[in-house]
Amino acid sequence: MRIGELATAAGVSTRALRYYEEQGLLTAERRGNGYREYDEQAVRQVAFIQDLYGAGLPSEVIREILPCTGAAGPTGDCSALQVKVQEVRDRLALQERQIAQRREMLERYLTGAAAPAEFSGLPGLSAGA
């Protein structure tokens, strides 16, 4: 299928598909006229790439994951990749905790239970203001 057909089937833009190619995440055969030609598996691969981006993984990690998840089975050393994915997961968990703490602080401020620390010493702002 051509790039426009893949974009429609996968629900992404042709620009995204070209970006995936630039990043080494997606490959296409080139016809004699220069048009890209993708196989039917490309739709599933694009969906998988989208999921990995949605999970917060950067292109370089996704590029390493793809050979470990191919239909023909893993190629290369995939054990080190698991450590990288766990590190990304752990960073996301830390960010979630930090966001929860910030949200809780804002909630306390909005309900009048407390003022943010940086405002507590300013005139006219107190815990109940």
Render the burial of 50-73: b for 16+ CB within 10 Å, e for the rest.
eebeeeebebebbebbbebeeeee
Interval 92-116 mean pLDDT: 88
pLDDT of res. 89: 86
Length of the chain: 129
**Residue-wise pLDDT tens digits, 106-128:** 898 888 887 656 665 555 555 44
Rounded to 5 degrees, what angle do the CA atoms 86, 88, 94 make?
105
pLDDT of res. 92: 86
Average pLDDT, the chain: 84
**Residue-wise pLDDT tens digits, 11-31:** 999 999 999 999 999 999 988
Question: Residue 98: CB partners within 8 Å, gap ≥ 6?
Answer: none
Interval 46-70 mean pLDDT: 87
CATH label, 1-73, candidates 1.10.1660.10, 1.10.1200.10, 2.30.38.10, 1.10.240.10: 1.10.1660.10
Residues of the chain with CATH 1.10.1660.10: 1-73
Residue 129 has pLDDT above 60, yes or no: no
Report d(CA 124, CA 92) in Å as an integer.
38
**Residue-wise pLDDT tens digits, 28-57:** 998 888 888 999 899 999 999 999 998 888
